[in-house]
Structure 1
């Protein structure tokens, strides 16, 4: 298995961390102890691994590898993972060391020594030393802080640590997970948090991930500020430093940078620089690239040591601010100078930061290069070579020379989505508007149809970093904003994902009082794909929570006839099948397989002899409904793929025959056969199952039936997030089978 790593920023990397999940065929790899990593020069590279998923025979299905690279600016290197069939031992020069004493931890990366005290509250850093110099002392870090609309301060330092675990312990990388709450001086509690600290062998920086979660029972909580502060142990006069690329701004007087509005590109825009009186610093240089705007980082240093903090995607998730007051850096994830943050019940938001400790001035330490390198991270791609790509099913291989027009159109669609549809700002980054009118005007999509999955499929095909960056943004939006972390009104929906709606919430969704979730609008595969590619534990945890929410809703009568929402029909059963199938494929846990079988049996038992299922439109029972039929077929095909039960395949074949009748005389699908809904319908939802039926029957008419919809999909240039998710998750499967059948032509 080979990984290709490109340096994309124009800055040489030394000992820079790289990680990627990689798939293996069943029976090929049974242990990770025999693996070694070799670069293009034949040099053996220390590698740390974690098993993410197993095949049914307990061989390794997905494996995360972590290693560190030296990579010249704008260069590319290939790293090959080799199975030696015998244990491999390759030590790092400076492995991470962790010492524990009654919930007091000392982490030594070989470059910095960090002390963390988890006996009561969570300061984040209780002490940080670089060599003999203590850069941060006990009172130098105040943890995570929240100020509510009444001006009351809450802090993780004053709160309780409810849980912590070392998710990884080296030798190359160590990850500490901590959860707890924020409390005031009087002991009043507000919001829980989840935090991760990631340390790297031989490096003088760590990564901090912080999620604050509104678990309060009020509908909304208004906040004035959310922040993280660090006050280094400096006795001499200090200097603050910010910048953008090579340009820097330094001052020994207090100043701050502030992103008032979200920016669509961090290359051409940045934060503005103000003094503490609110006066904007003006510069004479004209032009976007020459203005001394600052990107999302700030450094504070004396003559010999310093600390730099860089907030990932700061301008994309605005408003944000970072201030320097000669004593400390204050990172405001929601700035006090903005209007109040009204955070709905059950929502959360995650931020990631680099915290770098250096032993010279910020300019001499070239902290601007570290910040840019962190913002433009290394993104390894998997070289599949002659092996087919498979992620919850086969994926159309990337052959730009053979199919240039198809691949150009897919990239055009993505470019339009990024430039015109991807949401920006604190709530919207990682989502998109639905661009609808009438009752759904102003709706955000909440990544419906599983946009993270579609982006993961395209990233696996191409290896292009832009797709992965969008996958990361959409996955975290789903885990933070769309995910129901808390619900005082309806505990049944806790752990689910909200259906599309205004400001990401549709109250009484689909006409059901008290619900913001529906079984027809919850997905797991995108989060599972993100987990398999990154190893991020939260993605797996959230996906399993969605699965458990679906199980509870099924027990309460959802997803089974008679359906709670009359016009949904079979899709209410089929979408959960797909969610459960993904969970079973990744975890192997039989509760998910049992749920697949239960719902697939219901779909088979409620199917009419002509292959249709009912959909109620008023008094009218519609039976020609390509949308519902297509989703039902997809669920049956997924059930057949993981169980091998021929009843599910036969049911899908019967539905496929009915689908052939669900057209106008010209051959294009109709939307619904009920009067008033007999519209032309070009949908990709049918593509995956039609390709699957061709594969298992050899009947080419299934591929031919889909051709008009394939062409319509590829001819659509302007697509929002819903459109991208809706088309790619099915299209990239269909194209695989169409090429295998030698049916595919490079035509759009």
Structure 2
């Protein structure tokens, strides 16, 4: 058993720790088997491995791995066998109040209480950093006197818990939780909970940190002016040998605390050029006495910062000290998010992933020539307006603007935001080239992946197809799928869908009159996982292996799993439907937060924060005790709460499936079975309801009759079919499969046949937007080997009058307030569902696309006519 691995796109340029996940076919990998990693030359690379998920027979479904790599191999092989142990395994020692980590190249002390999460960083016997803490600024506004006054209250981290989450020979992970606490004795308050994971790899001098902050304030009064982290640097050396270096648009912008440039000494024999290049310069000899006297009269610049205030602009500024003006150094477009600060004893580089994409952000050094310098990363820059998490309106706009409920539930209380930070120790000043390579590495996923054919073969992530251009219609469909991805990739940049709270989301519906997305029209604005574009993007990655699609899916996962979901409070485990502001809609539902949207990222990267999110939603159905999703229709019903078969119960199935496969906790499998067994006993089975009473305590679906409130397009539009088809692969339940077949087939029956089969209960009006059911119809056709049913499924996708998807996708250029490229009819709902269902249909019923089997009346099918 040999599994080939390759780099997603970029490989490490130097020694780097990497973690990744791989799937295994059903029954292939036994839990007692060990794995080893082989280089191309047959040499073993030490690896740390652990199981991430299991198949129902107990075999391993997903494994996670960590290893340290050099920049010398393009591919590797993972195989069963005895693992190679690192020559210098990572050492972790836990005491009462501290955790000490020794990677062999760096020693770090982590505090388990107090303010500083990192007490000390030592490399090559040099203390390079200490007193790492989280910082924030609360802005307090007062306008009661008619004069607006603002107070800025500084806060710092207060650690509550710190634990060793993983401790192996290659990698260790430490998880810290706490809150921010006001520094001033006049303002006593603890708020803004945080979670911080710190990653160390053997024989490396770098640290990765994944930082999550949670909002627990009142948006009307609690404004966050700044949010970040800070390290103290005990730099050594003369002012002219202390440097800052920022990664700009392309290369490095470098400046010292004190210039060697003077009026009479323009370059001083090349010393000035060396200084700007970051080299250490010695002046204490007779040869440079005159230069030394001159430069000591030069100003000493202690404070530097680079602020990215939009997706298209940053500025670099400096000042001599607090109380004096900032001086502009330069401006640029998109900084690469790295800052190095160092002296004669070396220094530290720090970087933030997606730095410009998640503006406003700042990298800052204070006191460069002081005994202790401060290195700061601002996720939210205090140089810009404070976070404003208030709603955009004082009322709801249900009828006119497609907002969900006539209830004002627009609260950010309980949402979160996650950022990745990297820190690199340098015992000697690095070159500009080294820093550019490091900045690019931090901004690009350094990840080992499998070939798409292998992901497909394992069947570990549901039903999807590999690209196939062997038939002219398939080739055209693949072209349309690629055009859809390319459009959204360009649109993200063209429309500047960036920013701390927005990056990773896309808009819902386009307005071709304004040449603008409906950003200001209630439920037509931000998508918030509506009709599961997440799953579309992840399937598009799995079948292609493209890095650009991975980055789109990664950003969407980070955003939608954190910002659009409530992690505590009244709506814990639920998410907010689409709206002008991400948390603005009155609908708080499980379909937005369900595990099936996000587990791809966890399994492919082993990201522990995403694991937390999967755990958070495993009991999301209990959130319905406080908020009935069908409260508008059944306000005085006998049942405490209700669910629709989909999207509610389908989302629970997705959550329970995730918990069952990851932990083997059969209680969650049984929760799924409880619902399935109830449906089996009903005359219409999966077509029952679609709304039921529900008991979160027993997970029972309580039958209320059939053909009731809740249309069937809601059942199949939000990832339910993907969860149910995955369950089909795992449960081995023929009747469950038959229920899925029955549902898919029923959707495309005639009105007469629907009424006949349901004893007059179910009719066409309950089954709107049939394109959304194309995947379910394809499943039915494949199971029944029914070419006529397959033709109906393809008609749902290819007949524009049914699908509402304009094919082929045509972009046109327009001149509005600026030059734009648009697709005038685009909606993300339709595009994501068409792409998702097409990917599934190509797998299940692609064979029925041949000319003699495609039983479709082509009169109104534009795409088929064009291809003929």
Q: Residues 519, 296 of structure 1: CA spacing in aligned structure 2 closer, same or farther, 3 A cutoff? A: closer
Any idea what the Cα deviations from partners look like across 1:446-492, whole Å, max 9, x if unmatched? 122333332222222111111221222111112320110233xxx2x
Matched, 1:145 2:145: no
CA distance in structure 2 between the aligned counterparts of 1:352 and 1:552, rounded to whole angstroms: 30
CA distance in structure 2 between the aligned counterparts of 1:371 and 1:273, rounded to whole angstroms: 17
Quote how far apart the aligned CAs of 1:503 are: 0.6
Q: Residues 721, 247 of structure 1: CA spacing in aligned structure 2 closer, same or farther, 3 A cutoff? A: farther
CA distance in structure 2 between the aligned counterparts of 1:731 and 1:582, rounded to whole angstroms: 25
Any idea what the Cα deviations from partners look like across 1:615-660, whole Å, max 9, x if unmatched? 99xxx96899662464587776555544344443343344334322
Q: What does residue 540 of structure 1 align with?
A: 611
CA distance in structure 2 between the aligned counterparts of 1:30 and 1:202, rounded to whole angstroms: 31
Matched, 1:476 2:564: no
Q: What does residue 267 of structure 2 align with?
A: none
Quote how far apart the aligned CAs of 1:603 are: 4.7
Deviates more, 1:525-534 or 1:324-333: 324-333
Q: Residues 146, 561 of structure 1: CA spacing in aligned structure 2 closer, same or farther, 3 A cutoff? A: closer
Any idea what the Cα deviations from partners look like across 1:272-292, whole Å, max 9, x if unmatched? 222344543348xxxxxxx69
Q: What does residue 463 of structure 2 align with?
A: 394
- Give TM-score scaled by structure 1 length: 0.84
Matched, 1:527 2:598: yes
Quote how far apart the aligned CAs of 1:508 are: 2.9
Quote how far apart the aligned CAs of 1:317 are: 0.2
CA distance in structure 1 between the aligned counterparts of 2:686 and 2:657, rounded to whole angstroms: 27
SS in 2 for 1:231: strand
Q: What does residue 838 of structure 2 align with?
A: 731
CA distance in structure 1 between the aligned counterparts of 2:489 and 2:470, rounded to whole angstroms: 25
Quote how far apart the aligned CAs of 1:233 are: 0.6
Deviates more, 1:104-113 or 1:439-448: 439-448
Q: What does residue 174 of structure 1 align with?
A: 172
Q: Residues 293, 598 of structure 1: CA spacing in aligned structure 2 closer, same or farther, 3 A cutoff? A: closer
CA distance in structure 2 between the aligned counterparts of 1:310 and 1:331, rounded to whole angstroms: 8
CA contact (8 A) 2:646 2:716 kept: no
SS in 1 for 2:85: coil
What does 1:65-144 correspond to in 2, within 5 Å? 65-71=65-71, 77-84=74-81, 88-118=82-112, 120-137=113-130, 140-144=131-135
CA contact (8 A) 2:91 2:101 kept: yes
CA contact (8 A) 1:496 1:545 kept: no
CA distance in structure 2 between the aligned counterparts of 1:525 and 1:227, rounded to whole angstroms: 31
CA contact (8 A) 1:448 1:722 kept: yes
Identify the match of residue 448 of structure 2 among 363, 368, 380.
380
Quote how far apart the aligned CAs of 1:36 are: 1.3
Quote how far apart the aligned CAs of 1:30 are: 1.4
CA distance in structure 2 between the aligned counterparts of 1:678 and 1:546, rounded to whole angstroms: 29
CA contact (8 A) 2:317 2:330 kept: no
Q: Residues 247, 638 of structure 1: CA spacing in aligned structure 2 closer, same or farther, 3 A cutoff? A: closer
What does 1:146-545 correspond to in 2, within 5 Å? 146-149=137-140, 150-156=151-157, 159-161=158-160, 163-185=161-183, 186=185, 187-216=188-217, 221-236=222-237, 237=239, 238-244=242-248, 245-252=250-257, 253=301, 254-263=303-312, 271-276=314-319, 277-282=325-330, 294-325=335-366, 326=368, 327-343=373-389, 344-363=412-431, 366-383=434-451, 385=453, 388-399=457-468, 404-421=475-492, 423-435=497-509, 440=522, 443-487=525-569, 491=570, 493-509=571-587, 517-545=588-616
- Give TM-score scaled by structure 2 length: 0.73
Any idea what the Cα deviations from partners look like across 1:523-550, whole Å, max 9, x if unmatched? 2112222111111222232123223122
Q: What does residue 713 of structure 2 align with?
A: 627
CA contact (8 A) 2:208 2:420 kept: yes
Quote how far apart the aligned CAs of 1:296 are: 0.9
Deviates more, 1:366-375 or 1:431-440: 431-440
Deviates more, 1:11-20 or 1:318-327: 11-20
Quote how far apart the aligned CAs of 1:293 are: 6.6
Matched, 1:710 2:784: no
Any idea what the Cα deviations from partners look like across 1:345-400, whole Å, max 9, x if unmatched? 21211111111110122436832321222212323221254762524422202446
Structure 2 residues not aligned, in runs of 5+: 141-150, 258-300, 320-324, 390-411, 511-517, 636-640, 693-705, 754-761, 811-822, 855-862
Quote how far apart the aligned CAs of 1:507 are: 4.1
Deviates more, 1:335-344 or 1:642-651: 642-651
SS in 2 for 1:280: strand
SS in 2 for 1:395: coil
CA distance in structure 1 between the aligned counterparts of 2:668 and 2:221, rounded to whole angstroms: 34
CA distance in structure 1 between the aligned counterparts of 2:574 and 2:555, rounded to whole angstroms: 19
Q: Residues 578, 89 of structure 1: CA spacing in aligned structure 2 closer, same or farther, 3 A cutoff? A: closer
Q: Residues 596, 278 of structure 1: CA spacing in aligned structure 2 closer, same or farther, 3 A cutoff? A: same
Q: Residues 416, 633 of structure 1: CA spacing in aligned structure 2 closer, same or farther, 3 A cutoff? A: closer
CA distance in structure 1 between the aligned counterparts of 2:593 and 2:432, rounded to whole angstroms: 50
Quote how far apart the aligned CAs of 1:502 are: 2.2
CA contact (8 A) 1:381 1:464 kept: no
CA distance in structure 1 between the aligned counterparts of 2:764 and 2:643, rounded to whole angstroms: 12
Q: What does residue 51 of structure 2 align with?
A: 51
Any idea what the Cα deviations from partners look like across 1:4-51, whole Å, max 9, x if unmatched? 434846x86222233321111222111365311112222221111121
CA contact (8 A) 1:554 1:560 kept: no
CA contact (8 A) 1:626 1:662 kept: no
SS in 2 for 1:360: coil
Q: Residues 381, 228 of structure 1: CA spacing in aligned structure 2 closer, same or farther, 3 A cutoff? A: same
Any idea what the Cα deviations from partners look like across 1:78-113, whole Å, max 9, x if unmatched? 2111113xxx14122332111222131221111111
CA distance in structure 2 between the aligned counterparts of 1:71 and 1:707, rounded to whole angstroms: 47
CA contact (8 A) 1:610 1:658 kept: no
Q: Residues 637, 381 of structure 1: CA spacing in aligned structure 2 closer, same or farther, 3 A cutoff? A: closer
What does 1:511-660 correspond to in 2, within 5 Å? 517-553=588-624, 571-601=647-677, 603=679, 608=684, 627-628=713-714, 630=716, 640-660=728-748
Deviates more, 1:574-583 or 1:251-260: 574-583
CA distance in structure 1 between the aligned counterparts of 2:582 and 2:22, rounded to whole angstroms: 33
CA distance in structure 1 between the aligned counterparts of 2:546 and 2:337, rounded to whole angstroms: 24
CA contact (8 A) 2:91 2:102 kept: yes
Deviates more, 1:55-64 or 1:396-405: 396-405
Q: Residues 573, 342 of structure 1: CA spacing in aligned structure 2 closer, same or farther, 3 A cutoff? A: same
Q: What does residue 512 of structure 1 align with?
A: none
CA distance in structure 1 between the aligned counterparts of 2:135 and 2:347, rounded to whole angstroms: 21
CA distance in structure 2 between the aligned counterparts of 1:546 and 1:555, rounded to whole angstroms: 15
CA distance in structure 2 between the aligned counterparts of 1:433 and 1:561, rounded to whole angstroms: 27
CA contact (8 A) 1:388 1:394 kept: no
Aligned pairs, number: 699
Quote how far apart the aligned CAs of 1:62 are: 0.4
